[in-house]
Amino acid sequence: MTGPVRFEVAGGIALATIANPPVNALSAALRAALAEAVTRAAGDPAIHALVIAAEGRTWIAGADISEFGKPPASPTLAELIALLDGCPKPVVAAIHAACLGGGLEVAMACTARLAGPAAKLGLPEVKLGLLPGSGGTQRAPRLMGAAAALRLMAQGDPLDAKAAVAVGLADAVEPGDLVAAARAHAAKLAAGPLPKPVSQRDGGLGARDDFEKEASALSKRAATEPQVAAMIACVRAAFEKPFADAVADERKAFLDLLQDPRSKALRHVFFAEREAAKIANIPEGTKPRKVERAAVLGAGTMGAGIAMCFANAGIPVRVIETDEAAMTRGLDRIRATYEASVKRGSLAPERRDARMALIEGAVGLEAAKDADLIVEAVFEEMGLKKQVFATLDKVAKPGAIIASNTSYLDIDDMAAATNRPGDVLGMHFFSPANVMRLLEVVRAKDTAPDALATAAEIGRRLGKVPVVVGVCFGFVGNRMLARRTQQVERLLLEGALPQQVDKALTDFGFRMGPCAMGDLAGLDIGWRIRKATGKRAPVADALVEAGRLGQKTGKGYYLYPEGARAGVPDPDVAALIEKVAAQEGVTRRAIGQEEILDRLLLPMVNEGARILEEGVAARPGDIDVVWLHGYNWPAWRGGPMHWADARGLKDVFARLTELARQTGDESLAPAPLLATLVAEDRGFASLR
């Protein structure tokens, strides 16, 4: 047998070895080859059992997602699994590595499963807005119990080999020759009565009450996720219906989810994150530079968080400050953050100690001389940053990458302060840096390809989602956020209240609205930036000048009585807004939630179109990834550009045109790219 499966027979035991790189995905060709192997083993009297093994970094990584939405090619995954389920001879899965999604459904249809030490077994379909669609919601409960199976599917994270055996998903861990052990186990099974297929093992579901308790908790936590509700219904059917009927229900639920807009959004996110990992316009084969030591300039909140990112990834890091007191405060801040994690039980004391051992403090830029990567996290003032970069140019060793954590400022200006512009780029972490996953990697005009590749690769080592963006004020995320912030200010002047503005976004799916978020961050931060740049925001400025800085002062847009974390509406704020509106000559009116939402989101989409047109972002999906991981855009909405496509760009164009006319705000006029796409009846997705 040729193709993605090799077939051989020795001692009456057939071995089918999967070789379908890069991840052994269940393509039509692989399904056909596996079906042929099962049929051949079943029909040959000289063959007593079949072992399915694989080579490469996975066993079977899951379905071939590129086939979603296309007419199914026979044999389908369900047909392959039916062949395994009905095989009259034992089939043993020898799982050496990742066995995920459809791969685990294949393994669960086998008679037995042996796992190597590096094996990982899971059903991650929840992350694509789907559920296991080929019997997984029925076989997993029969192997590991309904409550545990539901938890596995709803979390989407795999179990390691030992954990899989402990819950019954695998039969044993084999630390030695896995294929030899699987052959021996298959021969043993062939010598005795054939065990029942998993589909007929109804005694392993566990207590119904345990399942219902798990289902109830999940229903509350995942109310916006249709795939979780569908999973609960499917697993419940294992208690109530014959296997075949429950599998039919599962298949219908799977097909329904394929068409659900929330599920489509989650699949878009899946692909967008993988696309974002590919850096546009660098030579093929570009290799990142070696990074063995890092330095962070500044031990404030951001600098401390960035230093923790390096230590958490096992990279030694030196935190550099201008004096001993500031350096000590920074190290104390880091230590306190780790201590809080230990108290919560999320970090073992020995891991805290290991991480702290990787962090050292120092005074003076000379201390950056042996670092392979230097991240500048000083105050957001261009003169200061250029001074720092000019000094680093003299101090840093040849080939060291010098990165700025700036949120807004021009990386090209910083690079111009050095004689090594190819080594300079932006690495914009998001606060808190040790928690937030987004990393905007800012490509300056002269950034060397290998420097760019290094920053992206380091981002992944730090557990971040790196997205490469271009130079402009605010890059991608903050540039779009500025448009939303501008509209928040205008909406408040024109008649909305903070709680109405926030409700529009929380109803949409954001965890917090912009006013509550401003209070949490501190309203004085934006106020200082506006003062430095000559800009104004009448309402926000008035709040700060009245001493309302947010949660830290107990009052901002909201009132925070007795240190409460959740704010309550304050009549004094309504009066202040009315006073400011009168001073600005604005006549207030009632504004509905639909208009509020449109004015918050559509200007962001419009700015996203400009960003794409200018080449600041390479793909619409890159913008979506920025907003998903940096600004808590609800994943089931797919990001601003996907959401706009789903709404329809003709409607987006028409609504922006109308809002620009109604408000007299020219910034709301549709961007040229948006007009072009509408004229050509295309969406942002066509720009991929």
Looking at the DSSP bridge assignments, the partners of residue 93 are 52, 113
The closest alpha carbon to 60, from 108, 13, 14, 15, belongs to 108
Give Cβ neighbours of residue 610 (< 8 Å, ≥ 6 apart).
671, 673
Looking at the DSSP bridge assignments, the partners of residue 427 are 441
How far is the C-alpha of 189 from the C-alpha of 192, rounded, in Å?
6
Q: Report, in angstroms and rounded to the nearest whole number, the Rg of the chain calculated over CA atoms.
A: 29
> Of residues 105, 214, 225, 376, which has the active-site annotation?
105
How far is the C-alpha of 248 from the C-alpha of 126, rounded, in Å?
19
> Of residues 67, 125, 273, 613, which has the active-site annotation?
125
The closest alpha carbon to 414, from 387, 432, 442, 434, belongs to 387
**Kind and range of the H or E run holding 402:** strand 401-404
Give Cβ neighbours of residue 270 (< 8 Å, ≥ 6 apart).
65, 127, 128
The backbone torsions φ and ψ at residue 391, rounded to the nearest 5 degrees and listed phi first, read -70, -45
Give the Å distances, CA to CA, from 563 to 413, 511, 551, 554.
Answer: 42, 20, 8, 6
| Amino acid making up residue 75 | P
Tell me, rounded to whole angstroms, the distance of Cα 498 from its chain centroid.
29
Tell me, rounded to whole angstroms, the distance of Cα 451 from its chain centroid.
24
Q: Does residue 381 carry a catalytic annotation?
A: no
Cα separation of the two ends of the chain: 38
Give Cβ neighbours of residue 685 (< 8 Å, ≥ 6 apart).
620, 642, 645
Q: Does residue 350 carry a catalytic annotation?
A: no
Q: For residue 126, how many other CB atoms are within 10 A of its CB? A: 22
Identify whether the C-beta of residue 638 lies closer than 8 Å to the C-beta of residue 265: yes
Identify whether the C-beta of residue 451 lies closer than 8 Å to the C-beta of residue 423: yes
The helices-and-strands tally (H runs, E runs) of the chain is 28, 18
The closest alpha carbon to 491, from 570, 597, 579, belongs to 597
Tokens for 662, please give them: 């109604």
Name the residues annotated as catalytic: 105, 125
